[in-house]
Amino acid sequence: MASSYKKGDSDSKNRKNFLTVRAVQQWNTIPQELVTLLPWRFLSRGWMAICQGCFSWKRGMEVPPDIAIAYLMQGSFYGHSIYATFYMDAWRRDSIVMLVHHVVALMLITFSYMFRYHNVGILVLFLHDISDVQLEFTKLNVYFKYRGGVYHRLNDLISNAGCVSFSVSWFWFRLYWFPLKVLYATCHTSLQTVPDIPFYFFFNALLFVLTLMNIYWFLVSSEPHHRLALQEELGASS
């Protein structure tokens, strides 16, 4: 009986420690995602103006400070994410796709900054990070739902509402606006603006790979038994 009690008490402590660590990790990612939302002037110009302005491009053009900050934060985040996927995170069924995503994202961030495609690059980051902020905040409330062995209804309600808003925003921004605005601009508008634009096929290939992964994760998250991949982590830890 004593050994059984100690084992149960140890499991409970391990679970609490796991939830605390994961909650802190999720909280730390939110500021990084919010940094990408800094360049609000793109939104104020309207979606069509954004498309037309993405390729007001010339070699060596200056990168505005707010975009440079967002690029620095995002590049460091995805560089760390590659390491974390290999050595820190639990291996799941979509880990390979996640790793490919991080590599593709880091390549897009690095090379779009080098070749001064930062106008379209910051739009790509913006459209993706809107749903990422909601995802991390939702997961944070899932972890905070039970604290100290006590159920907190407010965090449960927020996490449920977050699941709905996350799904809607993922479809709207990543599967609708991203192809309609970004892919149209990079595939069509870019050739009209700069006919001999460098690395046209390279960047568009990476963007299409990103689109395919967005579709894949939307289909996975739409499965009835899927719960934001969070229950896999909680189940593995218990």
Identify whether 6 is part of a domain: no
Identify whether 2 is part of a domain: no
Which of 132, 214, 213 is closest to 165 using CA atoms? 132
Which residue range(s) make up the domain with 17?
Answer: 11-237
Identify whether 62 is part of a domain: yes
Residue 212, pLDDT > 90, answer yes
Residue 38, pLDDT > 80, answer no
- HSE at residue 6, side-chain half, CA atoms within 13 A, is 3
- Count of domains for the chain: 1
Kindly report, residue by residue over 156-196, the tens digit of the pLDDT.
Answer: 898 888 888 888 999 999 999 899 888 988 898 888 888 88
Residue 48, pLDDT > 80, answer no
Identify whether 5 is part of a domain: no
Identify whether 4 is part of a domain: no
Identify whether 3 is part of a domain: no
Beta strands in the chain (DSSP E): 146-147, 150-151
